[in-house]
Amino acid sequence: MYKRILLAYDGSESGQKALLDCHDLAQWGHSELFLLAVMPLALTALGPEGSFYDESMQERERARYQSILDVGLRRLADSGLAARGEVVVGDAVDEIVRYARSIESDLIVVGHKHLDGWAARWWRGSVSKALIEHSPCNVLVVITR
């Protein structure tokens, strides 16, 4: 069974469903649980010319992501499961893979919402699809519609 489960958690509907599924797996297998919130680098757009790093926006966003993570940790604690959590900054796939390697995770759980239309799928990309390609361990994709 899985000893260390990493949940890439963003508080979204698909993230909430993944949290519930992750909870069931961890409880059944007596696994260690880790929640990871990946925050993109806070850049302010200048138009088509480019963007710049905004430190005050970065701090506000970090606080928002920490709040989302704290809610997930509290939900797990309320159901009797201990979990550790961390907010990191960077590309979601790169950071999830890096963290999974650092804790020697044997399962990554990620939520996924099906997008309507090819343009929406192309524009947004798919973290779960890219994660499957780069993951050092098994990946469970929890789908919401």
The gap from C-alpha 21 to its chain's centroid, in whole angstroms, comes to 14
Query: Per-residue pLDDT for 6 more than 90?
Result: yes
Q: Side chain identity at 96, as an amino acid letter?
A: I
State pTM to two decimals. 0.81
Question: Which pLDDT does position 61 carry in this prediction?
Answer: 87
The domains of the chain, with CATH numbers, are 4-144 (3.40.50.620)
Residue 118, classified by CB atoms within 10 Å of its CB into exposed (0-12), middle (13-18) or buried (19+), is exposed
Beta strands in 40-133 (DSSP E): 43-45, 51-53, 83-89, 107-113
Q: Among candidates 143, 67, 58, 131, which has minimal Cα distance to 99?
A: 131
Query: What integer pLDDT is reported at residue 3 of this predicted model?
Result: 93
Residues 22-34 pLDDT 10s: 777 888 888 899 9
CB atoms within 10 A of CB 36: 25
Question: pLDDT, tens digit, for every residue of 66-115?
Answer: 999 999 999 889 988 889 999 999 999 999 999 999 999 999 998 877 65
